[in-house]
């Protein structure tokens, strides 16, 4: 299929999906080389490209011929996904999370399938879903909570037991068939789900779930839980009631008394009796009534005729906000539990799912989420009258948990949080001063930027930044065999600390990051690390595909030999390599096109010195 035909067809997929039509011809769409090349580019530049599956192969040595062999297997029906290699990584609570690593071929097929499914489902996904979606993140989910959840009285946490491991395959395939009219394409997805996994050298079948670590798994998970989003949207429309909260009777009475006295004052003044003692008496009474009224709520927070339901989801992390009674919050939780069991064959955890008072708060995506009522602040002059405005009550706030700050300090090795003692980091001693400063900057800046939506982020970072800065000073002092005071005297430049370095004869500086640079409450994409911490080469996608298709070895220049892609080994793969070679590896570009003889010679260590220097 021609490239321009494929692009035109891909552009039509969102329109068909929004119109509610079932899409067909997806399997034929996969026959275009362009989709496979784009899939390769997205995967190969990923850090996991050198992680092998059960067959032990990586993207090192990948060639155009391998593309076509894999494509012919898929379209002839002989392609069979291999089991994923299961590994375990530690979770924040100390438990282990299982990850499934597919083979290289399976990753390519999954990426092609994912790119097509994303075109179909992304336009119809709920605005309340934020996990694993382009243009969405933890910050967009948290910002939605902070922005429109004012007035929430109850927070409902719903924790799904082992979500990724308990996805029902048949239910998922039926959900895909609601929008896709292509049996071959759905059959391909079915094969991925049924591939099984290799755990402790034993192959086990997959009867349910999608492996965490698979490329297409996050999107399939969103397809599955999209039904929950639609259920919640329908429930919200039925649940919401009333236009606004009612005004309490006592508040009405006091307001009427104030209005009566203001009318009296205006009438006496219009009659030229502004000095009448009755005017002063009425003004004193207005002030007294106003103070009593200010102690009351202007709206009934527990108005039974006013209800609202809010919800937000990030992958399987689900949070519901209820403006209503606790009994109504219990009804919401019961309805969600029933839907999960009956429609999605999932179970909500009895221990972790709970209903919390909004003022007490819950933990969501690493933040403490709770409501707060502000006191009156500032003065406003309107129509010649000076008054303090009434601030909204039950404003949703995001806070930084103290335990997260202490955990970050310990994990990075800055020192002892509780004792307020810093320490040096020996593993950075082989780096240059500018690399050490950039590493420290990247770490704290990344932590601060994640918690930038919290109102107290600078307060919580105050102690951390002192330990962090002292740890940097100790690390540099240990490297240069001098005192910490001497280090900071050398780095000090006015009110800043900075280190100088030269690039092509030009002197540049790297400043030590300060919390004053953090824009609190703003989502700032793409500014976490303005200067990269390493000098890794990055390649343009089109340039690399063109070089690969040019079939020319980048070392010997041969054009008449089949070419392959060599992936430079990561430092993690060089466990016994000397430190110098590790540093060189960290600064070498990730991929290079080689002919097969040069590739074999490279791995055997037989390349001449001249070509070794070129690499």
Q: Which CA distances in Å does 20 have to 13, 28, 227, 577?
A: 11, 21, 15, 57
Compute the distance between CA of residue 600 and CA of residue 358 in angstroms, rounded to an integer: 63
Does one domain contain both 556 and 451? no
Does one domain contain both 382 and 408? no
Does one domain contain both 266 and 302? no
Q: How many CA atoms lie within 13 A of 91 on its CB side?
A: 7
Does one domain contain both 243 and 358? yes
Report DSSP state, residue 92.
T
Nearest alpha carbon to residue 518 among 461, 474, 468:
461
- In a domain, residue 524? The reply is no
Does one domain contain both 49 and 63? yes
Provide the token pair at 161. 């037991």
Compute the distance between CA of residue 85 and CA of residue 193 in angstroms, rounded to an integer: 14
End-to-end Cα spacing for the chain = 37
Q: Which domain holds residue 264?
A: 249-294
Continuous segment of H or E residues that includes residue 549: helix 541-549
SS3 track for 242-303: CCCCCCCHHHHHHHHHHHHHHHHHHHHHHCCCCCCHHHHHHHHHHHHHHHHHHCCCCCCCCC
CATH of the domain at 231: 3.30.70.270
Provide the token pair at 25. 């011809």
Q: Kindly report the number of other CB atoms within 10 A of residue 481's CB atom.
A: 6
In the block, tokens 């992958």 appear at 315
Q: For residue 596, what pLDDT is reported? A: 79
Query: Structurally, how many domains does the chain consist of?
Result: 5
Report DSSP state, residue 180.
B
Q: Specify the long-range contacts of residues 340-343, CB closer than 8 Å, at least 24 apart.
A: 340/158, 340/160, 340/228, 343/171, 343/227, 343/231
DSSP E strands, 324-444 = 354-357, 362-364, 367-372, 380-382, 385-387, 395-399, 415-416, 421-422
Instruction: Extract the residue ranges of the chain whose pLDDT is less than 70.
Output: 1-3, 47-49, 61-62, 375-379, 386-392, 522-551, 567-591, 604-615
Edge-first strand listing for the sheet containing 395-399: 362-364, 367-372, 395-399
Question: Which pTM does this prediction carry?
Answer: 0.78
Provide the token pair at 611. 């070509």
How are beta strands 197-199 and 84-90 bridged, if at all?
Answer: parallel
Q: Is residue 337 within 8 Å of residue 331, measured between CB atoms?
A: no
Does one domain contain both 13 and 106? yes
Cβ-in-10-Å burial (0-12, 13-18, 19+) of 120 comes to buried
Report DSSP state, residue 531.
S
- In a domain, residue 152? The reply is yes
- In a domain, residue 131? The reply is yes
Nearest alpha carbon to residue 140 among 392, 450, 540:
450
Does one domain contain both 241 and 254? no
Does one domain contain both 326 and 373? yes
How are beta strands 84-90 and 96-101 bridged, if at all?
Answer: antiparallel
- In a domain, residue 533? The reply is no
Does one domain contain both 224 and 349? yes
Edge-first strand listing for the sheet containing 84-90: 96-101, 84-90, 197-199, 202-204
Q: For residue 190, what pLDDT is reported? A: 92
| Domain endpoint, select from 343, 367, 399 | 399
Does one domain contain both 230 and 372? yes
| Domain endpoint, select from 262, 294, 326 | 294
Compute the distance between CA of residue 458 and CA of residue 518 in angstroms, rounded to an integer: 8
Q: Specify the long-range contacts of residues 193-201, CB closer than 8 Å, at least 24 apart.
A: 193/169, 194/169, 195/81, 195/82, 195/83, 195/84, 195/102, 195/106, 196/83, 196/84, 197/83, 197/84, 197/85, 197/86, 197/100, 198/54, 198/83, 198/84, 198/85, 198/86, 199/86
DSSP E strands, 373-431 = 380-382, 385-387, 395-399, 415-416, 421-422
- Residue-wise over 87-100: b if at least 16 C-beta within 10 A, else e? eeeeeeeeeeebbb
Q: Give the three-state DSSP class for 500.
A: strand
- In a domain, residue 536? The reply is no
Strand partners, 503: 506
Does one domain contain both 342 and 484? no
Q: Give the three-state DSSP class for 332.
A: helix
In the block, tokens 């892609």 appear at 565
- In a domain, residue 528? The reply is no
| Domain endpoint, select from 346, 371, 399 | 399
Q: For residue 584, what pLDDT is reported? A: 41
- In a domain, residue 134? The reply is yes
Q: Which residues contact 130 (CB under 8 A, 6 or more apart)?
A: 136, 137, 138, 140, 141, 144, 312, 313, 314
Q: Give the three-state DSSP class for 94.
A: coil
Does one domain contain both 139 and 226? yes
Q: Is residue 188 within 8 Å of residue 113, measured between CB atoms?
A: yes
- In a domain, residue 394? The reply is yes
């Amino acid at each position: 299929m021609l490239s321009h035909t494929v692009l035109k067809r891909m552009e039509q997929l969102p329109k068909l999906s929004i119109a509610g039509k079932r899409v067909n011809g997806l399997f034929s769409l996969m026959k275009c080389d362009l989709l496979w090349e784009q899939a390769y580019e997205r995967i190969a530049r990923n850090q996991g490209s050198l992680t092998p599956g059960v067959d032990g192969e990586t993207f090192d040595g990948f060639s155009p011929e391998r593309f076509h062999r894999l494509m012919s297997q898929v379209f002839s029906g002989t392609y069979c996904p291999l089991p994923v290699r299961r590994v375990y990584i530690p979770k924040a609570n100390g438990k282990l999370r299982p990850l499934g690593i597919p083979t290289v071929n399976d990753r390519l097929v999954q990426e092609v399938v994912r790119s097509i499914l994303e075109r179909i489902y992304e336009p119809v996904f709920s605005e309340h879903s934020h996990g694993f979606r382009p243009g969405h993140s933890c910050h967009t989910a948290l910002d939605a909570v902070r922005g429109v959840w004012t007035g929430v009285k109850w927070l409902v946490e719903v924790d799904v037991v082992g979500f990724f491991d308990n996805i029902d395959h048949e239910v998922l395939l039926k959900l895909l068939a609601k929008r896709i009219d292509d049996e071959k394409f759905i059959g391909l997805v079915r094969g991925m789900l049924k591939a099984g996994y290799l755990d402790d050298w034993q192959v086990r079948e997959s009867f349910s779930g999608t492996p965490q670590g698979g490329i297409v798994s996050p999107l399939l998970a969103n397809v599955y839980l999209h039904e929950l989003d639609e259920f919640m949207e329908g429930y919200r429309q039925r649940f919401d009631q009333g236009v606004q909260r009612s005004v309490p009777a006592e508040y009405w009475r006091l307001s009427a008394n104030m209005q009566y006295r203001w009318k009296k004052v205006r009438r006496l003044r219009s009659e030229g009796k502004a000095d009448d003692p009755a005017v002063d008496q009425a003004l004193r009474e207005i002030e007294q009534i106003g103070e009593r009224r200010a102690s009351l709520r202007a709206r009934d927070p527990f108005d039974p005729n006013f209800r609202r339901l809010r919800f937000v989801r990030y992958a399987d992390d689900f949070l519901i906000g209820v403006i209503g009674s606790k009994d109504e919050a219990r009804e919401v939780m019961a309805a969600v539990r029933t839907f999960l069991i009956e429609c999605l064959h999932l179970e909500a955890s009895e221990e972790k799912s709970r209903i919390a008072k909004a003022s007490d708060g819950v933990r969501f995506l690493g933040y403490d989420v709770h409501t707060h009522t502000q006191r009156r602040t500032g003065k406003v002059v309107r129509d010649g009258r000076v008054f303090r405005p009434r601030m909204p009550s039950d404003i949703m706030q995001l806070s930084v948990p103290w335990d997260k700050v202490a955990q970050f300090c310990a994990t990075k090795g800055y020192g002892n949080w509780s004792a307020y003692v810093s320490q040096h980091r020996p593993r950075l001693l082989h780096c240059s001063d500018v690399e050490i400063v950039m590493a420290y900057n990247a770490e704290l800046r990344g932590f601060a930027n994640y918690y930038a939506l919290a109102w107290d982020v600078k307060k919580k970072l105050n102690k951390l930044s002192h330990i962090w800065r002292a740890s940097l000073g100790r690390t540099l002092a240990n490297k240069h065999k001098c005192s910490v005071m001497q280090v900071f005297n050398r780095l000090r430049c006015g009110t800043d600390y900075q280190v100088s370095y030269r690039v092509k004869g030009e002197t540049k500086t790297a400043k030590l990051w300060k919390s004053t640079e953090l824009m609190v409450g703003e989502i700032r994409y793409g500014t976490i690390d303005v200067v990269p911490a390493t000098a890794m080469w990055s390649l343009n996608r089109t340039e690399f595909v063109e070089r690969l298709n040019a079939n020319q070895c980048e070392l010997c220049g041969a054009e008449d030999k089949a070419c392959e892609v060599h992936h430079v080994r990561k430092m993690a793969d060089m466990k016994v390599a000397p430190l110098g070679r590790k540093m060189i590896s960290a600064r070498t570009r990730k991929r290079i096109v080689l002919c097969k003889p040069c590739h074999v010679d490279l791995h055997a260590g037989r390349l001449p010195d001249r070509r070794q220097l070129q690499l």
